[in-house]
Amino acid sequence: MTEEVILADKNNRKVGIEEKIKAHQEGKLHRAFSIFIFNSKKDLLIQQRAKTKYHSAGLWSNTVCSHPRPGETYQQAAHRRLKEEMGFDCKLKKVFCFIYKTDFQNSLIENEYDCVFTGKFDGKPKPNAQEIMDSKWVSIEELKQDIIKNSDKYSVWLKIALEKIKSNHIKEVTK
> Is 65 an annotated catalytic residue?
yes
Q: Is the pLDDT of residue 1 over 70?
A: no
* Spatial separation of the C-alpha atoms in residues 155 and 125, rounded to whole Å: 21
Q: Please count the structural domains in the chain.
A: 1
* 3 state SS of 21: helix
pTM of the model: 0.93
Q: What is the rounded distance in angstroms from the CA atom of residue 123 to the CA atom of residue 88?
A: 9
Q: Which of 4, 18, 112, 115 is catalytic?
A: 112
Q: Which residue(s) pair with 99 in the sheet?
A: 113
Identify the active-site residue in 18, 65, 110, 115.
65
Q: Domain holding 24: CATH number?
A: 3.90.79.10
How many CB atoms lie under 10 A from the CB of residue 84?
Answer: 13
**Residue pair 45/127 in contact by the 8 Å Cβ criterion:** no
> Tens digits of per-residue pLDDT, 100-157?
999 887 788 999 999 999 999 999 999 999 889 999 999 999 999 999 999 999 998 8
Of 132, 154, 122, residue with least CA distance to 66: 132
Mean pLDDT of the chain: 92
List the domain range (segments joined by +) for residue 67: 4-174
What does the chain come to in residues?
Answer: 175
What pLDDT was estimated at residue 159? 92
Cα distance between residue 47 and residue 133, in whole Å? 7
